[in-house]
Amino acid sequence: MFSPVESRRLYRQAADQIRVMIASGELAVGQRLPAERDLAEQLSVSRPTVREALIVLEVEGLVNIRMGSGIYVVRQHAAKAAASDREPVEGPFELLQARAIIECAIAEEAAGCAKPDGIAGLDEALMRMSGGVNDASAVLAADRAFHTGIAAIVGNATLIRVTGEMFDMRMTPYFARLASHFEGPNTWRSALDEHRTIRDAIAAGDAAGAKAAMRTHLTMSQKRFSESFGEEFSGEEKRGHNKGRAKGTAKT
């Protein structure tokens, strides 16, 4: 049986517990794991924490996440790799929280000292991002250029380096697998619109607006990564859910 987990890095604890159950055969190859919401309840963690744990296990090749169907065990033995090789020290939600704290302050500062050449740099990054929404590597490079470009407006080399390093922390197999489930042309277009709002506030010298726009962008980024894998609304369940909504009986 699952038991509640404790500790600051809850997703690692959750992944460890599921990994042990797979290795022992308690969760057999081909078996579908409980629904995401049920795992969260049994482990006494949030659904985003469960999501992070499942992505770790998918990167290791222990489970297969089938969008709209569920999460299935695909093999019993994890690769013998150090924990640091399996996943980053920080999970994506922890990283996005750190970025919100730091980059909101940078955007606020940039709005107070932006010059035409700095805004031109942001515009160039936005143009590249707009033309690359169907190319993940191109849009990521433009996304990084936009965020480091805001730090460059401030003119502090440490802030430029820290912003770039935080962005680069997502360039791992773990984060890439998470992104593969939840990122695509539509989400990148949403991010592009959010970037434009940040850019406009900085160009207008609106420090409070730039800070708020950056916070909204990174909050929405976290929300996009927090979407359910959708296993509870597949097939007959989804049709039943929609039928219930039509009758006004669905939960809200």
pLDDT one-digit tens code per residue, 23-43 = 888 889 999 999 888 888 988
Confidence at residue 94, expressed as pLDDT on a 0 to 100 scale: 79
Looking only at Cα atoms, what is the longest distance across the chain?
Answer: 62
Q: How confident is the model at residue 231 (pLDDT cuts 50, 70, 90)?
A: very low
DSSP single-letter state for residue 183: -
Q: How far apart are alpha carbons 143 and 71 in whole angstroms? A: 31
> How do residues 103-150 score in pLDDT, each as one tens digit?
999 999 999 999 999 999 999 999 999 998 888 889 999 999 999 999
Q: Which of 9-18, 101-110, 163-172, 230-239 has the lowest mean pLDDT?
A: 230-239
**Is there a contact between 14 and 49 (Cβ–Cβ < 8 Å)?**
yes
Question: How would residue 70 be classed by pLDDT, with cut points 50, 70 and 90?
Answer: confident
pTM: 0.68
Per-residue pLDDT, 241: 35
Contact 227, 124 (CB under 8 A): no
Q: How confident is the model at residue 53 (pLDDT cuts 50, 70, 90)?
A: confident
pLDDT for 49: 84
The full set of domain ranges for the chain reads 10-86, 92-225
Instruction: Answer yes or no: are the C-beta atoms of 1 and 16 closer than 8 Å.
Output: no
Instruction: Name the residue with higher pLDDT: 244 or 17.
Output: 17
CB-based burial label for 153 (10 Å; 0-12, 13-18, 19+)? buried
The identity of residue 89, as a single letter, is V
pLDDT tens-place string over residues 86-108: 445 567 777 888 999 999 999 99
| pLDDT for residue 81 | 42
CATH code for the domain defined by 92-225: 1.20.120.530
Write the burial class of residue 229 (CB in 10 Å: 0-12 exposed, 13-18 middle, 19+ buried): buried
Q: How does pLDDT run across 171-230, given as a tens digit for each residue?
A: 777 777 777 777 889 999 999 999 999 999 999 999 999 999 999 999 998 888 776 565
Which range, of 58-67, 68-77, 102-111, 207-216, averages the lowest pLDDT? 68-77
Lowest mean pLDDT across 57-61, 182-186, 199-203, 232-236: 232-236
pLDDT averaged over every residue in the chain? 81
Task: Give the pLDDT confidence score for residue 228 in this predicted structure.
Answer: 58
Q: Which two tokens stand for residue 55?
A: 């992505």
CATH number for region 10-86? 1.10.10.10
Query: Is pLDDT above 90 for 159?
Result: yes
Backbone angles phi, psi at 71, to 5 degrees: -115, 125
